[in-house]
Amino acid sequence: MEDVKGVLARHKFTFKKQYGQNFLTDANLLAAIVRDAGVQSDGAVLEIGAGAGALTRALSVAAGRVLAYEIDVSLRPVLAETLSGCANTEVVFGDILRADMQALGRRLGEYRVVANLPYYVTTPVVMRFLEEAPGCRGITVMVQEEVARRFCAQPGSPDYGAVTAAIALRGEARIMRRVPREMFFPRPNVDSAVVRVEFCEGRIPVKSAAAYRAVVRCAFANRRKTLENNMIRAFRLLREEARALLQAAGIADMTRGEMLSPTELARLADMLTDRKILQ
């Protein structure tokens, strides 16, 4: 059978750098990613960035139903061909960052996200699904190795940051496999990894997810500053107020935000919610 490269060449497809079009072709790798994502035969999958449809096709074989988003309409004839016969699969041409998340939830019910996206879009997409995606049970994404380490980092490590803390509130991130650059066509300049974030509701109990997000933003706003200084600025507090809050949360005044575990960030967020500093 003709491979993805052949189909793209026949359609005279021109790769668009701005859309991060580095496609996968290896059937074993595609099958492994489908396994990594925990796709169930009766489950729904939202694939983001269908590209030439190689992963979409593998997903359509394994899942009950696939909805794929693709921003580049010039891939329409390619996808019509590569996905022919995939009766359980539908492609929407549009930008996932503009998708109506409530409507996606209504359309798919419970679903899993699988995405191999341009690296600059991945973090905003992951953040969006973490924050406001009814029905979403987990996300499996291909990311630059460095970003994969950030997703799964431990508090206090150089890779630990706002995105790690945001993920930790909703679920658990795990690096499933490394993917060398040679596996993509055309070849990018970096190696990648597949990360799976499994959502577990109530993993870290917090009174207000919005307050937690505000505390996370504040904690990592300026990594060289102490949490106390970042809080004074972010929440317009007097030094004594910030110090008293930290003390009540059992956090030493010279602590920097990056030293706090997600559980400690949640405790601080609850305290700020209780005192009506945050909602």
Interacting residue ranges for ligand SAM, rule: CB under 6 A: 19-24, 48-51, 54-55, 69-72, 95-97, 116-118, 121
Cβ proximity to ligand SAM: between 8 and 234 the closer is 8
- 263: nearest Cα among 158, 154, 136: 154
Cβ-contact 235, 221 below 8 angstroms: no
Cβ proximity to ligand SAM: between 143 and 173 the closer is 143
Cβ-contact 33, 55 below 8 angstroms: yes
Cβ-contact 173, 151 below 8 angstroms: yes
Cβ proximity to ligand SAM: between 124 and 158 the closer is 124
Cβ proximity to ligand SAM: between 192 and 226 the closer is 192
Cβ-contact 131, 216 below 8 angstroms: no
CA distances in angstroms from 181 to 22, 29, 94, listed in the order given: 10, 13, 27
Nearest distance in Å: CB 196, ligand SAM:
16
Cβ proximity to ligand SAM: between 67 and 251 the closer is 67
**Alpha carbons 270 and 272: distance in angstroms, whole number:** 5
Judging by beta carbons within 10 Å of its beta carbon (0-12, 13-18, 19+), is residue 217 exposed, middle or buried? middle
**Alpha carbons 140 and 142: distance in angstroms, whole number:** 7
Nearest distance in Å: CB 30, ligand SAM:
8
Please work out, in degrees rounded to the nearest 5, the angle formed at the alpha carbon of residue 143 by the alpha carbons of 10 and 223.
145
Cβ proximity to ligand SAM: between 55 and 165 the closer is 55
Nearest distance in Å: CB 209, ligand SAM:
24
Nearest distance in Å: CB 74, ligand SAM:
9
Nearest distance in Å: CB 1, ligand SAM:
16
Nearest distance in Å: CB 94, ligand SAM:
7
